[in-house]
Amino acid sequence: MIESRNLYRIQSGLTKGNKTIPIKTIEKDYVLSWILIGIAMSGMQDVMSFKGGTALKKVYFHDYRFSEDLDFTLLNSLSIDDITGMLESVYSIVLDASNIKLILSSKEIYANGYTFFVNFSGPLGADITRGEIKIDFTINEKLINRPVVKTLLREYDEYTDMPEGDKLKVYPLAEIFIEKYISILDKSRNEPRDIYDLWYLVSNECVEIAFLGRGIKEKGMYKGLKNFDIIEMLDRKENNYNKLWDARLSNHMINLPYFNKVYRELKKYLKPLNKLIMAQGLNL
């Protein structure tokens, strides 16, 4: 395990004026990386695919926004007891390799997934009950693009004890885009990180969105969606996104763009794709 001063060194490098990243967020990022290494070393990576915003930071963009949980889609049929046993192996690997202690706090079964809450004791030395990481596993998911094998990034030189070269199956960027797009179409979900992640991917030309309409329709219909008008949904959720923007994202990045800029630009980027999807109706 690295010393706490390494975390503070990272924090210093991420400080701009009076804006910085909370030290506990950086500690959690370090522990997340070790859990992913443990998963890669355990062989557990063969039965699932890493996804979501944390995958963007840990696999694709080392300077991406911080995250606080892990999301996977199961590629094999596994029970919650199967996953529990596999994670126990991960905890053991991580303890032996880094001296980070991980303990299962609780686990829950949902209609289409499992959620595990794992306590940890990291470089800051807090009691193990004070740190918690959520790990979600989706059971049944329609994948438009096959997972790819990618090498985990070591985002900071201060993570001196981490091995390099470990690999995981992960959603390709196009699949992450489609899933984030579908998340915005979900009436019950109002997470600002969804629009930030979409905006980042399209504004940096990470995906060719003109070719993703069919995949969006397939995945959306699999999830039972009826309304695919993302512009209408963005307008409907604008106030909620705006209210939550700073509260949900300001501790996860130094240069958080203004909500209005992201919102306007994202709508502009998505309008041609939305027009194409809406013209198709519910036909594939």
**What separation in angstroms does the CA of 219 have from each of 102, 137, 186?**
35, 18, 12
Quickly state the pLDDT bin for 28 (edges 50, 70, 90): very high
For the stretch 226-269, pLDDT in tens is: 999 999 999 999 999 999 999 999 999 999 999 999 999 999 99
Structure tokens at 77: 């049929």
> Yes or no: is domain 4-171 CATH 3.10.450.620?
yes
Residue of 33, 7, 167, 154 lying closest to 97 (CA atoms): 33
pLDDT cut 70: percent of the chain above it: 99
Q: Are 231 and 171 in contact (CB under 8 A)?
A: no
Residue with tokens 């606080």: 68
Average pLDDT over the chain reads 95
Segment 85-109 shows an average pLDDT of 97
**What separation in angstroms does the CA of 121 have from each of 160, 174, 214, 277?**
18, 35, 45, 47
Q: Where are the domains of the chain?
A: 4-171, 174-280
Long-range CB contact pairs, 13-21, < 8 A, 24+: 14/254, 15/254, 16/254, 16/255, 19/254, 20/254, 21/66, 21/251, 21/252, 21/253, 21/254
Q: Give this prediction's pTM.
A: 0.95
Residue with tokens 């198709």: 280
Q: Are 219 and 144 in contact (CB under 8 A)?
A: yes
Structure tokens at 181: 């797009």
Q: What is the dihedral of CA 218, 205, 25, 32, to 10 degrees?
A: 60
